[in-house]
């Protein structure tokens, strides 16, 4: 390989990405995270946020933070890793409250969901094991598997027959199998068949890891997520991972499981051991958000009603949707340039809907990813549907 400068290495690749309509840019928000926002100087209705229950700018959480700042026992920064001096009482109480909410032995906090997934897979999966992952798992689960010492095999999306064949092979070869799946798939919005996965895991003595970043909050009794949504309970060989930056409206992540799993992560997970703890204030905010989530049946019903309204309206327009019962409602457009064109057309009409393109989604499956929130109104959804109808009629050219 030739010796080259950084500019030589990346200039051509960056230009190629522009030509392929795959170049990514960061929108700049000038307002709080809420349905009505100013983004890149445009006043718009935001249909891109994962703030499913409308907690990111919730007045109750903001007031709790103001009160906390007046408490001499709270600082803004955590100052150190959890294993040094960064583990504050607020972190500890939050972990206990999350564990009680989910009915598990222990919970462990992480600074990000990506970090949590890396830690879980790198720590629990060892040489000689095999990780069996759904083809459409989140990138963090893929990276966690690739950076573990285990073998890594992917099965077709939601295909439990293919999964069972791989489990049979692992069982015959006396390999510890670890099934890894999203609970709600972030780009398609569909649900993993967790009842069948749990049955297969028990039949073949496999472990199960569920990234339920998009399930906790909107789904299940008191927002307990996708497992609870299906009437299932986690056993000692099940690990659940959730983020706190979506329905919780805050930031960070957590891992929920048995005492043994949590102790193993504390002792051996490098992404946990060598990272500064998240802020004390964030723990305060999440504790307040958790109380709201458990009582948010009206918001969950509102979200469900908006999802049904959008799907009925999109079907009437003739848009191609996925079989998604969740707040994530992708509209398949095919090529990246078309997705960008539709997204730009919607911006001009006052709606912020991102174009999702490869490599985030498979080639030929570029889409608009509409995400709904309980804080949206029925009128806003109807207005979006009218804009989408206009876009379809003109093909946004």
Per-residue pLDDT reduced to its tens digit, 251-278: 999 999 999 999 999 999 999 999 999 9
88, exposed or middle or buried, with CB in 10 Å at 0-12, 13-18, 19+?
A: buried
Tell me: the pLDDT tens digits for 133-149?
999 999 999 999 999 99
According to CATH, the topology of domain 29-53+297-394 is: 3.90.1150
User: Cα(212)–Cα(22) distance, rounded to whole angstroms?
Assistant: 28
pLDDT of residue 55: 97
pLDDT of residue 395: 66
Around Cβ 202, how many Cβ atoms within 10 Å? Answer: 12
Q: What is the pTM of this model?
A: 0.94
User: Cα(261)–Cα(239) distance, rounded to whole angstroms?
Assistant: 8
Q: Which residues are known to be catalytic?
A: 186, 214, 246
CA 60 to chain centre: 24
Domain 59-69+78-294 = CATH 3.30.70.20: no
pLDDT of residue 1: 67
Q: What is the dihedral of CA 227, 233, 238, 239, to 10 degrees?
A: 60
Per-residue pLDDT of the chain (397 residues; tens, 9 = 90+): 689 999 999 999 999 999 888 888 898 999 999 999 999 999 999 999 999 999 999 999 999 999 998 877 888 889 999 999 999 999 999 999 999 999 999 999 999 999 999 999 999 999 999 999 999 999 999 999 999 999 999 999 999 999 999 999 999 999 999 999 999 999 999 999 999 999 999 999 999 999 999 999 999 999 999 999 999 999 999 999 999 999 999 999 999 999 999 999 999 999 999 999 999 999 999 999 999 999 999 999 999 999 999 999 999 999 999 999 999 999 999 888 888 889 889 999 999 998 888 888 888 888 999 999 999 999 999 999 999 998 887 766 5
pLDDT of residue 128: 96
Domains 29-53+297-394 and 59-69+78-294 belong to one CATH topology: no
Q: Which residues are annotated as a binding site for pyridoxal 5'-phosphate?
A: 113-114, 186, 214, 243
**What are the domain boundaries of the chain?**
29-53+297-394, 59-69+78-294
């Amino acid at each position: 390989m030739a010796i080259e400068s950084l500019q030589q290495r990346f200039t051509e690749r960056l230009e190629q990405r522009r030509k392929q309509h795959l170049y990514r840019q960061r929108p700049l928000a000038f307002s709080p995270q809420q349905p009505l926002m100013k983004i890149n100087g445009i006043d718009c209705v935001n249909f891109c946020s994962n703030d499913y229950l409308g907690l990111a700018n919730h007045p109750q959480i903001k007031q709790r933070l103001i009160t906390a700042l007046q408490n001499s026992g709270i600082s803004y920064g955590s100052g150190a890793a959890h294993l040094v001096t960064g583990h504050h009482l607020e972190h500890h109480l939050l972990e206990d409250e999350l564990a009680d909410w989910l009915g598990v032995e222990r919970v462990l906090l992480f600074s990000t969901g990506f970090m949590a997934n890396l830690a879980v897979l790198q720590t629990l999966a060892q040489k000689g094991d095999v990780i069996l992952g759904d083809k459409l798992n989140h990138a963090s689960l893929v990276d966690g598997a690739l950076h573990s010492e285990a073998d890594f095999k992917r099965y077709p999306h939601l295909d439990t027959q293919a999964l069972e064949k791989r489990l049979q092979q692992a069982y015959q070869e006396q390999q510890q199998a670890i099934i890894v799946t999203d609970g709600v798939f972030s780009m398609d919005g569909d649900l993993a068949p967790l009842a069948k996965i749990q049955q297969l895991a028990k039949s073949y003595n496999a472990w199960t890891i569920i990234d339920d970043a998009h399930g906790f909050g909107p789904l299940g009794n008191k927002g307990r997520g996708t497992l609870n949504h299906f009437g299932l309970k986690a056993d000692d060989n099940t690990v659940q991972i959730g983020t706190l930056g979506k329905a919780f409206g805050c930031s960070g992540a957590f891992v929920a499981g048995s005492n043994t799993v949590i102790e193993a992560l504390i002792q051996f997970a490098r992404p946990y051991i060598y990272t500064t703890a998240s802020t004390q204030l964030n723990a305060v905010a999440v504790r307040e958000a958790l109380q709201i989530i458990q009582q948010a049946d009206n918001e969950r019903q509102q979200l469900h009603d908006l999802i049904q309204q959008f799907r009925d309206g999109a079907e009437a327009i003739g848009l191609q949707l996925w079989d998604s019962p969740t707040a994530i409602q992708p509209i398949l457009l095919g090529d990246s340039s078309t997705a960008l064109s539709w997204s730009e057309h919607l911006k001009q009409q006052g709606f912020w809907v991102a174009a999702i393109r490869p490599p985030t989604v498979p080639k030929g499956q570029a889409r608009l990813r509409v995400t709904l929130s309980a804080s949206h109104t029925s009128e806003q959804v109807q207005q979006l549907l009218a804009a989408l109808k206009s876009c379809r009629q003109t093909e946004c050219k």
